[in-house]
Amino acid sequence: MNIKVTIAYNGSNYHGFERQKNAVGVQNVIEDALLKLTGEKTDIIGCSRTDTGVHAREFIFNFHTETELKINRIVTGLNHFLPSDIAAKSAETVPDDFHARYSCTGKEYEYLIFCSKNRNPFYENLAFRYSVPIDENLLQKELAVIVGKHDFRSFCGQNGIRENTVREIYAADIKRVGDIITITISGDGFLYNMIRIIVGTLLEINEGKREPGAMLHILNALDRSAAGRTAPPEGLYLNRVYYEK
């Protein structure tokens, strides 16, 4: 069987999703849990990589197995063996050619900013604390520039530069609820550190370090050095993963 599993995780204790040799990735922990559950050594396929400290409200992986466990036992069994900061939400059988990464048609990310000069233990490692007042209207205008199909080379970390850096952004929005600012961006795919560089650049515009309208000039520059800093990982969440058009 080819099994598709949806999980959520707090990434604070992990060096990203992918399996690591000298550190602990979420994949290491899940594959250990599957070994205990099925007795099979399994290589799971994740929908994304995610950086150290990044979280996921919805993350998809698939794996092939000969286990005779009923599908509803996959979720309860995984949750029995997984630590409290990783949770299986659902599981289903899928066609043999389903691939969590290559079958994916789009993703939605959220970046959470806790607007306060003071720490709050309930947001520790779960949102980026930022003490400068945020002008949501200004940043929404800047975000509008990235919607559509563009070459996002300026917003790609140097370690992730590929020949094709064109991506399509479907929507990009900012909203405030109390002390929390949420920046939501969805698209057909994302480059290495792309969301965090976009957010870091927005914050520099918010701080007056860059002129309003800078986002368009940076996008057209096709040069990472033209963009702003990379925002910290703790505010970033993989929010949704899409497999339909």
Query: Residue 237's CB: how many other CB atoms inside 10 A?
Result: 25
CB 143 within 8 A of CB 173: yes
CA neighbor of 243 nearest in space, from 115, 37, 58: 58
- Backbone phi and psi for residue 53, each to the nearest 5 degrees, phi listed first: 85, -5
CB 144 within 8 A of CB 217: no
DSSP state of 183: E
CA neighbor of 48 nearest in space, from 195, 198, 189, 200: 189
- The span from the CA of 230 to the CA of 207, in Å, is 15
CA neighbor of 164 nearest in space, from 149, 179, 177, 174: 149
- To the query of whether residue 51 is one of the catalytic residues in this protein, the response is yes
User: Which two three-digit tokens encode residue 9?
Assistant: 């995780």
Looking at 32, 43, 51, 151, which residue is catalytic?
Answer: 51
Q: Which are the catalytic amino acids?
A: 51
